[in-house]
Structure 1
Amino acid sequence: MPSYQPPPLRIAIIGGGPGGLGSAIALSSLPNVVVTLYERAKELREIGAGIRVGFNGWKVLELLGADEDVRGHVESSVLHRNGLSGEIVKESPLSKYPIRYHPQRVRRTRLQSALISKVPEGVIKLNKKLVGLEDLSENGVKLTFEDGSEVIADLVVGGDGIRSVVRQHVFPEHTIQFTGTTIFRVLVPVSSVSNISDMMPSTQWWHGPTGHFYCSLVDDPAETDEKNQLFEIAARKLIDPSTDLTKKFSWGVPATNARVEGFFTDYDPRVLEALSVVPEGHWKEFSAFAGPRLEKLTAWNEKIVLIGDASHPLSGAFGSGATFAMEDGWILARAIEYSRGVGGNLSRALEVFDSIRSPYYARMYTHLDEQKQKVQNSKATNQGQSFELTLRTRIAAFGGEEKLSWIYGNDIGEVWSDFLRTSEKSDA
């Protein structure tokens, strides 16, 4: 007689960002699973400009089989400048990793396209806005969409970002708040800024008293001809969030040139010139929101799991949000595979996932708390100090490969191998 084959594990992924797409790739490779990704938009399109892919990003993209299709500008040097005078305050050292793992600034659309190409046909369902979740106890979770359709899944993966509908349902007491940071982003032709002195080819941060101007190339010259190469600008304005309690979440909304340029009038003339080349109507504004850490990333008796910004609403604090989300998806797939191999169930798989990822995010929150305390202590003891001194103190604490190797040097494949070795020892 044929051996009994249990029914396939039904997995519903909510959200078509890097975390959702990475999860769809990793989970679809498992036997006896049915994976469906539900995205609220009518088409998959990336909102933003550029994205940093460093060692940790390349490692997870390799595991997902998508690394070869992601190419951009290799960061040969990173300069931190006094945004008012243009003085170079710090130059970050070159990456210590092999050249194939060096940080690159790439178009977000390229990362998205690379991931989409690896998702099996028929997995992605568009125009499916989640509006309700219901715990069916032993029968799974019922998902209700705005169009009135319903599906039942054994596992729901909440990869729907910082305003996660999934998180709102399972952790209704969790709230996010405006951080005080507003980011204005745009891509312009390289030719429009190539005549501005010292603006290229280094990736640069021009720091001001209440924000900064960031710029970088985003294309690989070997793959993109000169006339089609783009240049990224990300301009940040910071305020005390307690002074604007009415700020609403806005992501990718249009911003006028006058609005953006008005925050940088005291900056170096080269910054002002770069801002002036942006065509009217091209700026997009992003308000940064964040929330407290969750003690656990799973819910409803291990039938719900949160990944990416849905699980750790840090609002881009480390510039690796896409990588974190893809790491989550890959570890989730490994945890399910592992639990099946040792005779465990879905509950055991999510326990494994949570045991690996929750402490990692807890460490991030601890680091952010420590940095915030340092800034507050510095303000208290150095009131009235010059902007130049304040800037040097701020840049000295700036994170990077050399200071945050546990983030930017994270090898998620090795993390999983470490878990397996520890498990083998405990079973011995």
Structure 2
Amino acid sequence: MTVDAPVLRVAIVGGGPGGLATAIALSKVPNIDVKLYEQASILREVGAGINIGANSWNVLGLLGVADSLTTGHPEWTVLNMNGHSGEELHRRERAPDPSLKRPTIRTQRTALQSALLAHVPPGTIQLSKKLARLVDVGDQGLEMHFKDNTTAPADLVIGADGIRSVVRDTAWPDYPLAFTGTTIWRTLLPLDAVQDLDPRFQITGWWHSPTTHVYFSPVGEGLWEIAARAYHEPATHSASKVSWGVPVANAHIREALRRVPSGGWREFAAFAGPELSRLTAWDNRVVLVGDASHALSGAFGSGAGFAMEDGWVLARALEHFRNDLGRALPLFDRVRVPYYSRMYAHLARQAAGRKARLEEMGGETSYDELVRNKIITDGGEDMSWIYMHDIGAVWADTLEELENTRKA
């Protein structure tokens, strides 16, 4: 006779894409009582646009959400330009891939959030719940203490609370975050407000300087995104800057920036932290998903996809081991830790390569040469392991490995 899995009280901290996807995935696992705690009083995304590529479409399909995301700008063409002269340095053209049901799109973060929210069971989300600390109460599990002086019990706490994760800082108190030197500004405005300036504004494009860029892209529904980055030496600049500036000279770019209405910009200081050898802690009663688990400051532009994959894999691991945390969470680590480790290794190689190229170029290097050196063309390293990642196939391979191990 089959014995029912024990009822598991699961608390998700954070209502971004990772937290919402985790709630959806866990809601389909028998005998899991899931609650999501979000510090905001209104659940809304902060930022502007977001990329949805094959990896994200794959996990959205597994979650049953893909058909709910219906707006976005297909990225058939991506341009890289010299930010000073406007010269087109590289053009990547994507032809429709018959093996893919949906194209890579740039869409609004709110569109992804709305699609996910539509699939979260009613009563799952509790707002205005900012986590203050976690307490181990022994056989009774964990107790969450919130800033409003309320508490909530849980058998498993999932940190989906971003790069400044309170859950991570509680379970890994010595984890260091550091300002990377990069500050990012994002905004949305109507495409009609700028499309008279340059026809390329209707295409996804990057205008580069040696250490900064301005990124433009339509995001669907008549809206247009600007994302600008600037770098300052972290040792001499704090992360609390309030002014901004982008060193580009094209008159039409500067005019596009001027057309952003007052108060339209949102500023984000980029932080990063080291690789974790495990994403689970406290005797398999705490687990991290999304940016909380890999503080990479959006290095690959696919953080929402990674976070949603985390949530889906965690749900599958709990389902496979019938809510046994002592077996399910190590399996989650087995699947996800090597993937994030590969990302950290890639970034280290990339940084070393840039440094070596600059050393070869010497000190008397022009602006144009530095920009050309910065741009990675299609001849670079194959990144399909990220952008074409099929988490469903990875999970199937994992189950096969487990079965082969059991039989051995």
Same fold, TM-score > 0.5, yes or no = yes
SS of match in other structure, 2:316:
helix
Q: Corresponding residue for 2:383?
A: 404
* 2:301 aligned residue: 319
Select between 128-137 and 360-369 the one with higher mean Cα deviation.
Answer: 128-137
Aligned residue for 2:172? 171
CA distance in 2, matches of 1:96, 1:386: 38
2:192 corresponding residue in structure 1: 191
Secondary structure at the counterpart of residue 350 of structure 1 = helix
Q: Secondary structure at the match of 1:51?
A: strand
Q: 1:334 aligns with which of 292, 316, 336?
A: 316
Contact 1:193 1:199 in 2 (8 A): no
Deviation at 1:32, TM superposition (A): 0.7
Superimposed CA distance per residue, residues 316-358 of structure 1 (whole angstroms, 9 cap, x where no aligned partner): 0000011100000000000001112xxx821100000000000
2:315 is the counterpart of 1:297: no
Distance in structure 2 (CA, Å) of the matches to 1:399 and 1:112:
34
Deviation at 1:284, TM superposition (A): 1.0
Give the TM-score, by structure 1 length: 0.90
Which residue of 1 is the match for residue 117 of structure 2? 116
Contact 2:214 2:246 in 1 (8 A): no
Which residue identity does 1:134 align to in structure 2? V
Which of residues 382, 389, 394 in structure 1 aligns to 2:374?
A: 394
> Partner of 2:83 in structure 1?
83
**Once the two structures are superposed, what CA deviation does each residue of 1:184-234 show, in whole Å capped at 9, x if it has no partner?**
111011111110123332100000123001000000xxxx4xxxx110000
**In the aligned structure 2, how far is the partner of 1:274 from the partner of 1:14?**
38
Confirm whether residue 234 of structure 1 aligns to residue 227 of structure 2.
yes
- 1:345 maps to a residue whose letter is D
Deviations 1:229-252 (A, max 9, x none): 1100001111222222x324x8xx
Gaps of 5+ in 1: none
Q: Aligned partners of 1:5, 1:236: CA distance in 2, in Å?
A: 52
2:269 aligned to which of 287, 291, 301: 287
Q: 1:83 to 1:6 in 2, by over 3 A?
A: closer
Alignment of 1:349-364 (within 5 A): 349-364=328-343
DSSP 3-state at the match of 2:19: helix
Residue deviations 1:368-407, cap 9 Å, x none?
Answer: 111111112222222222222222221136898x721100
For the 8 Å contact 2:279–2:333, the answer to whether it is kept is yes
Aligned to 1:209: 210
Runs of 4+ aligned residues of structure 1 deviating over 3 Å after TM superposition are: 2-7, 95-100, 397-400
Tell me: CA distance 1:196–1:206, structure 2 relative to 1, closer, same or farther (3 Å).
Answer: same
| 2:365 aligned to which of 385, 410, 419 | 385
Output the CA distance in 1 between the equivalents of 2:95 and 2:275: 30
User: Number of residues paired by the alignment?
Assistant: 404
| Cα distance in 2 between the residues matched to 1:398 and 1:136 | 53
Matched, 1:218 2:219: yes
Percent pairwise identity: 49
Q: Matched residues in 2 for 1:25 and 1:334: separation?
A: 12
Shift in CA distance, 64/5, structure 1 to aligned 2, threshold 3 Å: closer
Shift of 1:422: 1.4
Are the counterparts in 1 of residues 206 and 214 from structure 2 also a CA contact under 8 Å?
Answer: yes
User: Do the aligned residues in 1 keep the contact of 2:5 with 2:30 (CA within 8 Å)?
Assistant: no
Instruction: Tell me, in whole angstroms, the C-alpha distance in 2 between the residues paired with 1:263 and 1:296.
Output: 39
Q: Is the 8 A contact 1:208 1:267 kept in 2?
A: no
**Residue in structure 2 matching 1:247, options 221, 239, 243:** 239
Shift of 1:136: 2.4
Match of 1:417 in 2: 396
* Residue 40 of structure 1, CA deviation: 0.5
Specify whether residues 4 and 203 from structure 1 end up closer, same or farther in structure 2 by C-alpha distance, changes over 3 A only. Answer: closer
Residue type matched to 2:146 in 1?
Answer: F
Give the TM-score, by structure 2 length.
Answer: 0.95
* Residues 276 and 293 in structure 2, CA contact (< 8 A), matched pair in contact too: yes
Q: Distance in 1 between matches of 2:232 and 2:5?
A: 55
| Rounded Cα–Cα distance in structure 2 between residues aligned with 1:4 and 1:339 | 12
Q: Distance in 2 between matches of 1:399 and 1:26?
A: 37
**One-letter amino acid of the counterpart of residue 290, structure 2:** G
**Amino acid corresponding to residue 113 of structure 2 in structure 1:** Q
Match of 2:246 in 1: 263
Structure 1 residue identity aligned to 2:183: T
78-87 or 193-202, which moves further after superposition? 193-202
Equivalent positions of 1:34-183 (< 5 A) are 34-70=33-69, 71-94=71-94, 97-98=97-98, 100-183=101-184
Provide the C-alpha distance between the structure 2 equivalents of 1:199 and 1:193, rounded to a whole number of angstroms.
11
1:378 alignment partner AA: R
User: How far is 1:4 from its partner?
Assistant: 6.2
- Whether the aligned pair in 1 keeps the contact of 2:90 and 2:377 (CA below 8 Å) is no
Helix, strand or coil at the partner of 2:79: strand
